[in-house]
Amino acid sequence: MAGIPPDVWKMQVDRSRDPRREPGPINLQRYAFVPTYAGIATFFGVPLCLNQDDLRAGQVDVAVLGAPVDMGLGHRGAAYGPRALRADERILPNTPQTLVNPSTRVRPFDELTVVDYGDAAVDPFSIDHSMEPIRALVREIAETGAIPVVLGGDHSILWPDAAALADVYGPGKIGVVHFDAHPDCHNDMFGHLITHATPIRRLIEDEHVPGRNFLQIGLRSAMAPDDELLGWMHEHGMRTHFMAEIDRRGFDAVLQQGVAEALDGPEYLYLSLDIDVLDPAFAPGTGAPEPPGLTNRELLPAIRRICHETPVVGMEVVEVVPDLDPGYTTTMNARRAVFEALTGMAMRRRGLPGPAYLDPRVSGPPPSGQDA
């Protein structure tokens, strides 16, 4: 378009004429109690930060940001995931200080300073061009010591997200706990190197994350991996738990092994949740649903446990496609997954015991023969 610079999509707004303000989080809520269908939508109604000065001044623990890309999915619509997760009107209220985790009785927003950091710049015509701005914004958060929680968007963002943490914490020091129905380590899709099916291959080849530092849970696609790709995964030492193993051994046993594997090697962990790891009954609003999958009663406590018992320094939730989500089921489960993750981080901050901590006031007596 005439007169519009080609990189206008990533040009910063000139704020030189804005009124001066002290650095720190900006509370956009006017009232003490705000239904989620009212007010300016930030994630769970938390305050907004715009730069590193705000994050540092606010002593922010967790910053939520959006990465609204869907050109790597094949089915458009995941770019609307961050907006849907921020404005999920099926959960009331959008007042974080009122929220308590029903299983642990922990109030994560009392323990952690959580803010919304807006969205990364994305080129609406190029997934390739969008990768570096996403990486830069995730790195911007991590450099302050805060934990980035990235709302996707398709799963291509795993590449810039985990690479940004490797930039800050060091190559080879990050491990990835990857819940997904698909392996996401293809070399390419129809000749394209940057897609929702290739981020793990990019991370391994770029030497950001070694193959043995990948822990995968829930794989079950009828299309992948084929024998060649499965051999590549084994060759690089990836630790993969298919649904067939979960069916045979039970989810609890696989999760217990997975937590141990996650702690074997990397110093820090990044949690990557593709919402299609859930069975389509619980997550129909996704671009590549695969039956049969995990239930939300399996996944949500697992997310909480991983963030409680392991050194998680970042998280993403990807592949939520709102226009395919009748009844907001997918959005509710994805948003609850982040709430469980925040609860786990708060439990770790408080020093609550593991494994699989539950508040005894709500969990009842332990099974016969087990300690409380």
Its pTM stands at 0.95
Mean of the pLDDT values across residues 67-88?
91
Answer whether residue 37 shows pLDDT above 90. no
**Angstrom distance (rounded) from CA 211 to CA 237:** 5
Q: 78, 127 in Cβ contact below 8 A? A: no
Q: How confident is the model at residue 159, as a pLDDT?
A: 97
Q: Where are the beta strands (DSSP E) in 295-356?
A: 312-318
Q: 304, 340 in Cβ contact below 8 A? A: yes
Q: How confident is the model at residue 372, as a pLDDT?
A: 54
Each residue's pLDDT tens digit, 157-177: 999 999 999 999 999 999 999
In the chain, how many H helices and how many E strands? Answer: 12, 8
Helix locations, the chain, DSSP H: 52-57, 81-86, 108-111, 127-142, 158-169, 199-205, 227-235, 243-249, 251-262, 296-309, 329-350, 360-363
Helix (H) or strand (E) holding 63: strand 62-67
Q: How confident is the model at residue 370, as a pLDDT?
A: 63
Q: Which residues contact 20 (CB under 8 A, 6 or more apart)?
A: none
Type of residue found at 366: P
Residue-range domains of the chain with CATH: 46-356 (3.40.800.10)
* Residue corresponding to tokens 């962990």: 269
Tokens representing 365? Answer: 């007596």
Q: What letter would DSSP give residue 212?
A: G
Q: 280, 289 in Cβ contact below 8 A? A: yes
Q: 114, 61 in Cβ contact below 8 A? A: yes
| Closest residue by Cα to residue 85 from 325, 281, 346 | 325
Each residue's pLDDT tens digit, 301-341: 999 999 999 999 999 999 999 999 998 999 999 999 999 99
Residue-averaged pLDDT of the chain:
94
Type of residue found at 136: A
What 3-state DSSP class applies to 182? Answer: coil
**Angstrom distance (rounded) from CA 85 to CA 92:** 13
Q: For a pLDDT cut of 90, what percent of the chain falls above it?
A: 82
Tokens representing 230? Answer: 């499965």
Give me the residues paired with residue 292 across strands. none
Among the ranges given (92-101, 116-125, 189-198, 337-346), the one the predictor scored with the smallest mean pLDDT? 92-101
Q: What letter would DSSP give residue 217?
A: E
**Angstrom distance (rounded) from CA 120 to CA 335:** 19
